[in-house]
Amino acid sequence: MKQAFQKYIPFAPLKMEQRKWPNQQITQAPVWCSVDLRDGNQALVDPMNVQEKLELFHTLVDTGVKEIEVGFPSASETEYEFLRALIDGGHIPEDVTIQVLVQARPHLIQKTFEAIDGAKHVIFHFYNSTSTLQRKVVFKTDMDGVIKIAVDAAKLIYELSQPAIAKGMDLRYEYSPESFMGTEMDNAVEICAQVLDALHATEDKKVVLNLPTTVENCLPNYFADEIEYFVSKLPGRERAVISLHPHNDRGTGVATAELGLLAGAERIEATLFGNGERTGNVDMVTLALNMYTQGIDPKLDFSDMNKIREVYERVTKMKVGPRQPYAGELVFTAFSGSHQDAINKGTQYMEQTNSPYWEIPYLPIDPADLGRQYEPIVRINSQSGKGGAAFVMHTNFGFDLPKAMQPEFGYIVQKETERIGTELKPERIYQLFKEEYLDAQTPYQLIRHSFMESTGEDLSNPHVVFKGTLRHKDTVFEVEGEGNGPIDAFFNAIHGQKMDRFTFVDYKEHAVTKGSDSMAVAYIQLRDAKGKTIFGVGMSHNINLAPLKGILSAINRSVSSK
């Protein structure tokens, strides 16, 4: 490759002294047209059969797509049969328009009209290639010859459509100058203007002018210049709906579409998950949800993303990549410790502030909006940090670990991931938590206990007496202590039993289940004689007993570690 790059001809951008599109904003959804059943289907190793196409058609309808290109009925018998199955089987809702594609060739146009007989709402989409390269290499003709092909086809289509329209068909026209991106813009304007005239386009009967990025061969901003130039030069602009059909050869199909919308386009032809020839078409899911994250209603419903993905993968035999925007298995997953910590804090912030806005770092969209609220956002491997384990414990099991405790438990989890070398599932993380804290019941155990509480007449100055029986290995002994509350009384009671080297630092308690019989969990922080901090956790239906178990958990963990 050191010298081979020199054989490529760089794209020559338009010379535009002023451009308006950089200052524009996308404020509303475009008209969406799915080409999954045509462009997407022809790109499959094993094209879909009629039943598979029917299932995908209904999935697109359920998603809210109102214009669907259903095939190239003059190209194959399967395409023709599918179109007839849609029409004769009554599968097309009243508010959905089917679109058929045909080359600008008379005999194919005639067969396509036969195929759409009986349909209510149809877009008749015809095309011919106009690019400099195609004219030179494929058709060996000049621009006048290419224009004649398009205009002759437009006149024939207009003529043949009149009987169908007279019978009540709502029939609209669409023309694509194929390889628009590689066509001289003045030539593109000229051919489209003549097609509009041949189709008798008016402001009330607009024609869709679809401007395809058939092969993506320039930067998205250059394409936006082309669209702005085309729109500004097209005679009778009000007679046309400007549509885009971006492919993804450079991997910038989404950017090309977005900048094209800024430049004046109103309609997008796209496919679910970007399926299509070569590197595919623009991804409708990504494009629509990009708008959604900017507070714009895309007019499409992806609230059950898993189902849409399952249908797509099954009928096309294609796979959605794990990092595919919005839809991939791992796009809402964070392994990085810093990412996990920020997501954890963002979740806490939204709970604490009741913010009406989505404000969680690293997650541009709420997974719940796509029906993915039950999938793990934070997953734990050796790259994860202290916040990740705490997030899993909170999200999956309802434990709200104190911030000071998170590094200790995070270290325990990280050591386990390094030991096994793979990701830890939430159930294993809970098991580690249980083994380390809740099951720390030796050498000290509380066998039985009682509290006696008294207060002054105004309920002030509470006084609590604790009495209990403890076991240390094989020794059973009685303890008694007083304090201003159950925890203080218990801690004072055990101080005289070789546990006086511990100092009480802090505790936190909350419910992990709802209802009158809810389970309480208490997190206890102690400090030993050497100044080392140790945590313990206790659980009980009795809110007075949970912290006592937590204290013994911390002491047992400290003793066991030595």
Q: What is the mean pLDDT of residues 47-64?
A: 96
160 & 291 share domain: yes
What is the pLDDT at residue 1?
74
409 & 454 share domain: no
What is the pLDDT at residue 457?
64
Choosing from 368, 392, 422, the residue where a domain stops is 422
> What total of structural domains would you count in the chain?
3
Whether 329 is in a domain gets the answer no
Mean pLDDT value across the chain: 91
Tokens found for residue 63: 């998603």
What is the pLDDT at residue 374?
44
Q: What is the mean pLDDT of residues 313-318?
A: 97
96 & 243 share domain: yes
CA 317, 112, 234, 238 dihedral sign is negative
**Which CATH number fits the domain that encloses residue 507?**
3.30.160.270
What amino acid occupies position 310? E
Q: What is the mean pLDDT of residues 8-28?
A: 93
3-state secondary structure 56-114: HHHHHHHHCCCEEEEECCCCCHHHHHHHHHHHHCCCCCCCCEEEEEEECCHHHHHHHHH
Whether 310 is in a domain gets the answer no
209 & 346 share domain: no
List pLDDT tens digits, range 237-271: 999 999 999 999 999 999 999 999 999 999 999 99
Whether 129 is in a domain gets the answer yes
216 & 119 share domain: yes
Beta carbons of 238 and 205 less than 8 angstroms apart: no
Beta carbons of 40 and 276 less than 8 angstroms apart: yes
φ, ψ of residue 369 in degrees (nearest 5): -65, -20
392 & 449 share domain: no
Tokens found for residue 347: 């979740």
60 & 191 share domain: yes
Verdict on whether the full-model pTM lies above 0.85: no
Q: Binning pLDDT at 50, 70 and 90, where does residue 459 land?
A: low
Q: What is the mean pLDDT of residues 534-545?
A: 94
The strand pair at 97-103 and 533-540 is best described as unpaired
What is the pLDDT at residue 136?
58
Whether 396 is in a domain gets the answer yes
Q: What is the mean pLDDT of residues 361-377?
A: 82
Would you say residue 375 has pLDDT above 60? no
275 & 354 share domain: no
Whether 325 is in a domain gets the answer no
Domain span including residue 381: 337-422
Would you say residue 376 has pLDDT above 70? no
Select from 409, 31, 11 the least CA-distant residue to 208. Answer: 31
List pLDDT tens digits, range 187-231: 999 999 999 999 999 999 999 999 999 999 999 999 999 999 999
254 & 402 share domain: no
Other CB atoms within a 10 A radius of the CB of residue 307 amount to: 13
143 & 259 share domain: yes
What is the pLDDT at residue 138?
57
Whether 315 is in a domain gets the answer no
43 & 93 share domain: yes
Choosing from 243, 276, 301, the residue where a domain stops is 301
Whether 542 is in a domain gets the answer yes
Would you say residue 386 has pLDDT above 60? yes
In percent, how much of the chain has pLDDT > 70?
94
Whether 20 is in a domain gets the answer no
CA dist., res. 55 & res. 311, Å (int)? 8
Choosing from 374, 391, 422, the residue where a domain stops is 422
Tokens found for residue 522: 């208490």
What is the pLDDT at residue 385?
64
List pLDDT tens digits, range 491-533: 889 876 667 788 999 999 999 877 767 899 999 999 998 999 9
If 0-12 CB within 10 Å is exposed, 13-18 middle and 19+ buried, where does residue 55 land?
A: middle
Q: What's the CA angle centered on 140, arms 136 and 142, to 5 degrees?
A: 80
List pLDDT tens digits, range 273-309: 999 999 999 999 999 999 999 999 999 999 999 999 9
Tokens 């971006």 belong to: 246
350 & 469 share domain: no
**Which CATH number fits the domain that encloses residue 34?**
3.20.20.70
